[in-house]
A = this chain, B = another copy of it.
């Protein structure tokens, strides 16, 4: 029953963290949420920090799964689907975003947590880069800046829209995502440099 309990603790940590936040969620809270004795938490995880890293990864698993279907699509379709997925996740299950941005704050002063956030960012950026590469290839466009920079900017906008939505619940994240999509799709065909 070992792995079972460990998973229960991680899931409990995830729930406790999203609802209470890093600062307020004590190990006791997490244990209670996982329906487990406080001591057991430290049987499986050396420190609270280690547990939080596991909780972040646990939370990100769902997001990655939602992004998987994009792989098989046509580039343009995948791009549109990406925007749609972001909209749905932001309105439907903001918990993961809540956790991530809580961890961004913690990560600013905590390398181990920063590493977990960083790898999530990287994997998201890679998905965008892949779609962007296919898209540019299709339209034979030649942007004046590196593709990596473009996808970093787009992913940045996703991040910023999420942050604004979380801080201001009235924020029109759908509108902002539509605006972003319009800008990106308008940019692609025009991004053809004279040279070559």
Q: Does A91 contact B (CB under 8 A)?
A: no
Is the beta-carbon distance between A167 and B101 smaller than 8 angstroms? Answer: no
Q: Contact: A98 with B108, CB < 8 Å?
A: yes
Would you list which residues of chain A between 15 and 36 have a CB under 8 Å from chain B? Answer: 20-24
Give chain B residues whose Cβ lies under 8 Å from the Cβ of A134: none
A167 and B117 within 8 A (CB): yes
Contact of A160 among B109, B145, B160 (CB under 8 A): B160
- Is B176's CB under 8 angstroms from A149's CB? yes
Q: Flag the segment in A63-71, A73-81, A181-189 that touches B.
A: A181-189
A164 to B125 alpha-carbon distance, docked (Å) = 11
> Closest chain B residue to A21 by CB distance?
B109
Q: What copy number does this chain have within its complex? A: 2
Q: Which residues of B contact A184 (CB under 8 A)?
A: 183
**Interface positions of A from 111 to 156, Cβ below 8 Å from B:** 114, 117-118, 121, 143-146, 148-150, 152-156
- Min CB distance A128 to B, Å, is 12
Check A179 for interface membership: any CB of B closer than 8 A. yes
Contacts of A148 in B (CB 8 A): 172, 175
Interface CB pairs A-B, < 8 A, 10: A21-B106, A23-B23, A121-B167, A145-B182, A148-B172, A149-B172, A152-B164, A153-B157, A154-B157, A158-B160
